Amino acid sequence: MKLTADAKGVFPIAPTPFFDDGAVDHASIDRMMDFYQACGATGLTVLGQLGEAPKLDFKESLDIASQVIGKAGGMPIVVGVSAPGFASMRSLTREVMDRGAAGVMIAPPNTLRTDDQIVTYYHQAVEAIGDDVPFVLQDYPLTFSVQMAPSVIRRIVTDLASCVMLKHEDWPGLEKISALRRFEAEGAMRHISILCGNNGLFLDYEMARGADGANTGYCFPDMLCDFVKWVGEGKTEAAHDLFDAHLPLLRYEQQPGVGLAVRKYVMMRRGILSSAAQRRPGGALTPAAKAEVDHLLTRLGKHDPRAKNLV
């Protein structure tokens, strides 16, 4: 099942589980997949920005993607294939698509500066991987230093039919969502799915602006699933109450440089990962940071029982 422009819901960004020695923890991948399916995720992205993909060799990347696809049970799997060159991007794309991936995600290299350079890059990427492969356009200027105006996104969507989803991570970015949906309403751009990242930090109002859901890796993806579902059911205030209870932990986990360590630590405490380890180079939480996260979990547990009685 290939990814389409009608995709909605929550596509968590899966972390890559490692043992303390840096080896890939395949048992935790299976456990993680069971968890994502049980919590209501509508899809999944692997080998994303916080999936530590640059620390994996090609075989490891392919093995992890293949394991996830094999455990997906029909859930669409998007694989991050961003790479310095198109040869490795092409190779990984064709391999994962042959194994049943729904599509791929492509981030812009940080060398792009002008609008024409950005559009040309995505033309070349599609030429490399094939126009039969649905792709997600990742717009994350805070990390990649590439600024995509709504008009640039419209050019990419108009020129390249295989662009079916925007991973929206601009900040501030609410007006960008409104601009893109306005293009669609005016007939100036075809419809695409918009799923939002930034740890879900602005999902409460991104949905109201026209986003279709979340594509991020917060340590409580089940909360994101509930939020998107409740908004769709018209339970807006209940959804905001739940979101507000998680906001302090969302904010803490969104810290640059420490966010993945927080995410893995909480997912370990939830029994999903066997270790919070990152592959080197990578950091770990200090005792003081762990105490802060534990305090946030204790406070969250007063409002959401999923944060209680963690291991």
pLDDT digits (tens, 9 = 90+) for 192-239: 999 999 999 999 999 999 999 999 999 999 999 999 999 999 999 999
Tens digit of pLDDT for each residue in 60-91? 999 999 999 999 999 999 999 999 899 999 99
CATH of the domain at 224: 3.20.20.70
Residue 282: per-residue pLDDT: 87
Residue 81: per-residue pLDDT: 98
Q: What amino acid occupies position 132?
A: D
Domain-embedded: residue 267? no
Closest CA to 165 of 2, 51, 54: 2
User: Helix, strand or coil for residue 230?
Assistant: helix
**Burial tier of 88 (Cβ tally within 10 Å: 0-12, 13-18, 19+):** middle
Domain-embedded: residue 279? no
What are the Cα distances from residue 260, in Å, to 13, 205, 236, 310? Answer: 11, 24, 29, 19
Domain-embedded: residue 141? yes
Q: What amino acid occupies position 252?
A: Y
Domain-embedded: residue 304? no
Give yes or no for a contact between 222 and 242, defined as CB atoms under 8 angstroms apart: no
Domain-embedded: residue 154? yes
Residue 50: per-residue pLDDT: 84
Domain-embedded: residue 54? yes
Half-sphere exposure of 154 (CA within 13 A, CB side): 17
Contacts of 265 (CB under 8 A, 6+ apart): 276, 285, 290, 293
| Count of the separate structural domains present in the chain | 1
Domain-embedded: residue 102? yes
Residue 1: per-residue pLDDT: 86
Residues of the chain with pLDDT under 70: none
Domain-embedded: residue 274? no
Q: Which residue has the tokens 């007939």?
A: 187
Domain boundaries, position 216: 9-233
